[in-house]
Amino acid sequence: FSKLLCEHSRQRLHVVAKFPVLSQLLPVVVTVLLTLAAAYYIYIPLPDAIQEPWKLMLLDAGFRATMKVVRNLRWLGLGHFIEAIRSSTENMENLGEVLVGSESGWGVKPGVRVSDTTFDGVPVRVYEPPAGGEGHLRRAVMFFHGGGWALGSAKKGSYDAITQLMSDELDAVVVSVEYRMYPEVLFPQPYLDCLSAAKHFLSQEVLVRYSVDPERVAVSGDSAGGNLAAAIAQQISTDDSMSRKFSVQALIYPVLQALDFNTPSYEQNQGVPILYRTLMIQFWLQYLGADPSLLPQLLANNHSSLHQSAITPELRARVDWTVLLPPKYKKNHKPVVVETGLEGLVKEVPGLLDVRAAPLLAGPEILAKCPRAYILTCEYDVLRDDGFMYARRLQDAGVTVTSDHYDDGFHGCLSFSFWPTHFDVGKRALRGYFSWLQKNL
């Protein structure tokens, strides 16, 4: 066999030597094949309304490749997969900062003073604009970053850029909270970290220290951070021991409920990056400390079957998209209501019904006390309907709500507002968000 193999190789080399054009074509053929393979991996069908589709495909391909590597690392027992994703994400952000030419973060504003401290033991990063005249009080924003309660950082990448820019443009003190995340902690610890930091910031002593107008303090966040912002706004609004409260809440594509993963937006956008439906369910299971193998059950809404006695008709009405959604978004979708599902799951995972984890489940008496709201939603986002339903329920409770919807938006687009991963819709969303805060805070 070895002799035959050597003879075959000798004959091939003889042919290539005899026909030199083949040796010239070989690199071209290999390059074309590799290009086709890469294009096949990168390409996924996207809605026509999404602009710059190839840029989104490339970002998604990078994320999918990272996930595959992470799964292999987990299979080999080389560390926790979330830690591997964090490391990979940080490396990408560091590369972005090098490309931009900044050593301390994207979009650095020289006049903004940045300091790291703790509020009641919780790490926070504080952004202060240039000092004004004596007695000059500023507005303030407390911000919670997204990332599925597992990823992201107040101190790195796009979040650092957004909050610095916010401080500069709004002449505001911005506090970005570095709450603990999965797998280090589970619910309710991230919520409790944010609540402790919020109460500390709203104290008279701290507001005076940072020259903040107590009547102009916002709470805000995106995605999982929007979840935390909504939950904190509810708690602070109903806490009679708090003399100072948030004046507005600004929620960016917030995640607000875990009872129905078959809303029209979950079905329509289940395969749209960067937040797939299965990934959002995985984030929920991690956050609530539930068994990851339950994902198919939640995907089918078996966890919220009619036999779950803990889910009362009143609770179901609070996530009933057939009533709460604007007609144009219902289309031909039908509610997925399961008669008999996985019994006892709600008792096993009580966080599913805890308003601190699922703010959409709060009663009207709670919502009525909440501050006026800004809710940004994107058409191609599984969380679109969570935002729509919360806006409707707040309005029904008498709260003034500004709904800002982007027909060409996708989940996470606000974070893609800076070069080299900027999208036009991300820049427009960031402008709209800042503009609302400028006028209403």
Determine the structural domain holding residue 175 and report its residue range. 89-441
Structural domain contains residue 40: no
More confident residue, 239 or 80: 239
pLDDT in tens, 362-396: 999 999 999 999 999 999 999 999 999 999 999 99
Whether residue 258 contacts residue 298, with contact meaning beta carbons closer than 8 Å, is answered with yes
The answer to whether 265 is a known catalytic residue is no
Per-residue pLDDT tens digits for 407-424: 999 999 999 987 667 899
- Residue 375 is assigned to a structural domain of this protein: yes
The answer to whether residue 292 scores a pLDDT higher than 90 is yes
Convert the pLDDT of each residue in 121-150 to its tens digit: 999 999 999 876 566 899 999 999 999 999
| Mean pLDDT calculated for residue range 234-243 | 96
In this prediction, what percent of the chain has a pLDDT beyond 70?
80
Q: Is there a domain that residue 51 lies in?
A: no
With pLDDT > 90 as the criterion, what percentage of the chain qualifies?
Answer: 69
Residue 50 lies in a domain: no
User: pLDDT tens digits, residue range 182-238?
Assistant: 999 999 999 999 999 999 999 999 999 999 999 999 999 999 999 999 999 999 999
Tens-digit pLDDT profile for residues 306-323:
989 899 999 999 999 999
Is 168 one of the annotated active-site residues of the chain?
A: no
31 in a structural domain: no
Q: Which of 60, 193, 260, 381 is catalytic?
A: 381
Q: Which of 158, 167, 223, 265 is catalytic?
A: 223
| pLDDT value of position 71 | 62
Examine the residue annotation and report whether 223 is marked as an active-site residue of this protein: yes
**pLDDT averaged over the chain?**
87
Does any domain span residue 30?
Answer: no
Q: Which of 145, 303, 333, 411 is catalytic?
A: 411
| Residue at 56 is within a domain | no
| CATH number for position 122 | 3.40.50.1820
Domain count, the chain: 1
Is there a domain that residue 26 lies in?
no
